[in-house]
Amino acid sequence: MELTSEQELVRDTVREFVENEVGTDVREADETQTFPEDVWDGLAELDLTGLTVPEEFGGMDVDEVTYSIVNEELAYGHLAVATALSVHCLATSCIREFGSESHREEWLPEMVSGRPVGAFALSEPDAGSNPAEMTTEAVREGDEYVINGKKQWITNGERAGVVVLFAKTDRDDPETVTQFLIPKDVDGLEVGKKEDKLGLRASDTTTLIFDDVRIPAENRLTEVGSGLKAAFSILTGGRIAIASQAVGVAQAALDAAVAYANEREQFGQPIIEHQAVGHKLADMQTDVQAARLLTRDAARKNEDGVDPTAAAMAKYFASEAAVDVANEAVQVHGGYGYTKDFDVERYYRDAKITTIYEGTSEIQKKIIARELKSR
């Protein structure tokens, strides 16, 4: 699929940024579970923290394909950074789509500047694939809402300065899920456990605990009861971003495997000359390109209106392809691939998350099957 000259320019800028600014510290960030704030500041300098923000608030307001390309290129170098950015963009998108003019003026220009970082708090300990089962409650009291509950797995949970929160106005009524905007420094909001994860270790994933948090009623972003519909429409774009990130990780694993297979010799020749290895690489290359094309197609369709099925197919295929490609990249590296001296072991651990967050592969298939049933 042809890119426009503007899309190519953004791709080249982000690629150069990844080459120059991300590089060598990724392993250390993974080992120490530390988010690279300097890289984040670099993204902000390029205005990438305003990717989905309208230009009138200082943002780039990029088209869906450009958004996909940025996610792919960043994930090629550092999945945790790409994830942090895509979640920040979920928050700015919610404020842009559902906020009032004063919400937009208050939050968007600052979020474009990189701080405050945004978080998106939908999941709970007992409500993941089915967020309608959430129990966090926001009860109206005069001009305020009083919020109690616990959110889990929140990306940017510790770093964030503002949280887009989903809560029910009546815990016993699944039809009352509503979206709110919560400044992180509000009384009663605490950051809980930081997850110690298999991969994506530099990304900050925490619980958020709401204990009698009081916010002004005007911090409600959607009408009472329209929170889940709002979440799902924003998550369609979010899933295309995750698919793009999966393509980026898969491409990184493929490139590493190809380089290694050309260099490593066994039985007197580079291992790429052994047909079993060459065919493995051919399968990997084909998977990566298929995943990219499906993802770009979903991005184009989302430009013309929300298309949950196209997004679900892209996320399902690209994330599973990333796991397969990273797995084979480790295999091509033999024993060395199983050590921390080579990046492929991290790609293998990182790739797995793309099949889980923003809806598991099983949930993506459920969305695809639902459309088939209604045909």
Ligand X SMILES: Cc1cc2nc3c(=O)[nH]c(=O)nc-3n(C[C@H](O)[C@H](O)[C@H](O)COP(=O)(O)OP(=O)(O)OC[C@H]3O[C@@H](n4cnc5c(N)ncnc54)[C@H](O)[C@@H]3O)c2cc1C
Per DSSP bridges, beta strands 269-270 and 265-266 are antiparallel
- Residue 35 binds ligand X (CB under 6 A): no
Q: Which helix (H) or strand (E) holds 192?
A: strand 189-194
Distance CA 54, CA 150 (A): 32
- Residue 363 binds ligand X (CB under 6 A): yes
Report the residue from 76, 260, 347, 357 that binds ligand X according to the rule CB under 6 A: 357
Report phi then psi at 100, rounded to 5: -80, 170
Q: Residue 310 in 3-state DSSP?
A: helix
Report the residue from 68, 93, 179, 205 that binds ligand X according to the rule CB under 6 A: 205
Number of Cβ atoms within 10 Å of the Cβ of 339: 10
- Residue 81 binds ligand X (CB under 6 A): no
Give yes or no for a contact between 77 and 21, defined as CB atoms under 8 angstroms apart: no
Candidate segments 241-249, 293-301, 329-337, 354-362, binder of ligand X by CB under 6 A: 354-362
- Residue 366 binds ligand X (CB under 6 A): yes
Candidate segments 31-39, 109-117, 148-156, 325-333, binder of ligand X by CB under 6 A: 148-156
Per DSSP bridges, beta strands 117-121 and 160-168 are parallel
Minimum CB separation of residue 78 from ligand X in Å reads 15
- Residue 362 binds ligand X (CB under 6 A): yes
Report the residue from 108, 117, 121, 243 that binds ligand X according to the rule CB under 6 A: 121
Task: State which residue, 67 or 120, has the beta carbon closest to ligand X.
Answer: 120
Total residues contacting ligand X by CB under 6 A comes to 22
Distance CA 37, CA 81 (A): 9
- Residue 358 binds ligand X (CB under 6 A): yes
Task: State which residue, 126 or 175, has the beta carbon closest to ligand X.
Answer: 126
Give yes or no for a contact between 152 and 111, defined as CB atoms under 8 angstroms apart: no
358 a catalytic residue: yes
Distance CA 203, CA 88 (A): 12
Residues contributing to the site for ligand X (CB under 6 A): 87, 120-123, 128-129, 153-155, 197, 200, 205, 353, 356-360, 362-363, 366
Q: Which residues are catalytic?
A: 358
